[in-house]
Structure 1
Amino acid sequence: MIGEQSFPYYFGRDCVAEIGAAITALGPDKLVIVTDDDVRARYRHHLDTLAGSIPALILSHPSGESMKTLTCLSGHLETALRAGITRRSVVVSFGGGVPGNLAGLMANLLFRGVRLVHVPTTTIAAMDSVLSLKQAINSGVGKNHIGTYYAPEVVFTDVELFTSLPDRELRSGLCEMAKNCLAIQPSALDGLRRVIAAGELSSPHSLLWLLDASIAAKSAVTRSDTFERRAGLVLEYGHTTGHAIEICDHRVRGVAGLPHGAAIALGMLVAAHISHARGWLSDDEVSVHYEIVTGLGVEPALPASVSVDDVLAVIADDNKKGYLPPRPGTVPFVLLRSLGRPALTGDLPLVPVEVSEIRAALDVVARASAPVVVG
């Protein structure tokens, strides 16, 4: 349940055939499967199983943020329409958060809305992006500036798909789950610690627990906030700086740059340092951030390709502008007064933060000498 919207989320193990049967039961005349080249190559057989006997158009693109553009969106829409899709057709996202966002926006735009089904193949999509109505692509200025809200018909997840993920992709999604623990549900931290300590991040048993905990945490803040404009803004913890780090790194290193979750993990460290400097988070609570982030394989340092000044320039165009009254020299931030307790302005979990505060926190993270590597 996300505010006034609700949709079923089914997850299990070794269930791709059952997912295909459930999609068939929706009665589509055609499927538009949105994926990327890496996922298409890795799960070619699974794509056939999902489609079954239904005519399927597979729209693929080189993986990465280059998918989340108006050019790619427009091309996919034109291809789908020329292929003869109708209002009975179903758009299926099969992949990570990027194909999921692109598919969501496509489904909303085609004929003013056709049915959308998410089949996430990454932990970050299953545990974060599909647990939201937000569907967005990037502008030339920054991330997720162009988008809408659109509910899927259903989400299906087979955790067995995650067991073949490269380690860096697996851990990237778990960083978003760690965000949920730190900012929303600290009671789940001990369970996350046990999973990390056991070294079984890719086991189906662990993945099912992590997925269940993620759904519980996100539901707790979106149940009364359909569009994530009030209490749900806490889900942006770490994202203001994290998105900027991700953008800066990918501008230099392309697909070799930081995965999304790792960048968000660094953003959480920056937010923790700002909160600590304000006297809100204790030394121990900041240490918990480092414990979890490093336990998930993220080196707590800015990559060599990213400068503090570049990050600050991107942060200036963060998409949370406008939630708070404008104050020159400040940026709206999600900060914590304690684990699981965001700082508020009115009823919004956002506070204005001076650029000088952000710079000081970034300098702490930038001083680490090791490069950031996940996996």
Structure 2
Amino acid sequence: MTGHGLRGGVTAVLAGLGTCLPPKVVTNDDLSLVLDTSDEWIVRRTGIRRRHVIEPGSSTSVLAAEAGRRALKSAQCDQADAVVLATSTPDMLCPATAPEVADALGLAGIPAFDVAAVCAGFVYALATGAGLISTGIAERVLVIGADTFSTILDPTDRTTRAIFGDGAGAVLLRQGEPGEPGALGPFDLGSDGSLSQLITVPAGGSRQRASGVPAAERDHYFTMQGKPVFKQAVTRMTESSRSVLARAGWTADDVDRVVAHQANARILAALADSLGLPPHKIASNIDRVGNTVAASIPLALADADLRTGEKVLLTAFGGGLSWGSTVLHWPDVVPQ
């Protein structure tokens, strides 16, 4: 699905950016003490050196609320008219986590809901927030990406435990005018459910519960088929990026920075090559935080040292399969 941006003189403008990482850090050397792995093996395959993980007493909502609080501070604002939370690790299966986040932020009575598109969730949530603004439902929308994948990883699986980390990132979108710094451009979104089994948590949903067959312990953990996911990620993000650039009237050469989902350092390198861009244009913080799923893009935005006016391409790929992209001129925003 493609969108040509918001019309009628009303658009969504990025006005604030906040992030939150849990304090506990797990290094590759830490993992090597409990798994058959090593720092060299993990770095060579993923580019990751460390990741943050939550401890007992914390949860996705805790990280999301703090990132949202910091995004509001960055925007010098204490109010929002809606909260859209992208997550695949909600605090509970029911209800959604966003209303609790809104309550924690003192935003009583406003619409708040979750969006589940795994690693593409933040771009989907951005498009949703932009839609709320374009239709006049809200003037300010807090868009949050937060995940705690450490809670759904098989503790004996060296591959997934090496890749994923916990974190949250948020932006405040406000009503503005097309063309001003921070105005979100067109969106490109897509999915392919025929390949849903490439990225999955088999147990816990209605399909498994209705089967009448008790789930095996391993079925409660995240699984991913690495090789086909790698190919799909590069292909889908490349196609989506090209589509949204064409609709924005940009070429790949016009792009100053690409802030893509931080899935794997090799995927980022392959994306740069596929788009014909030099590696330095691809923002990366995966070595320090790992794959933080829906939090990935806002965390990378905060670390990218972007300059006001730079042309920025956002692109992501995740389970579903799902993917999405958008563009903007970077505004004068100080991340918190």
The TM-score normalised by the length of structure 1 is 0.26
The TM-score normalised by the length of structure 2 is 0.29
User: Larger strand proportion, structure 1 or 2?
Assistant: 2
Q: State which structure, 1 or 2, has the greater radius of gyration over its C-alpha atoms.
A: 1
User: Relative contact order: is structure 1 or structure 2 higher (C-alpha 8 Å, sep ≥ 6)?
Assistant: 2
User: Larger helix proportion, structure 1 or 2?
Assistant: 1
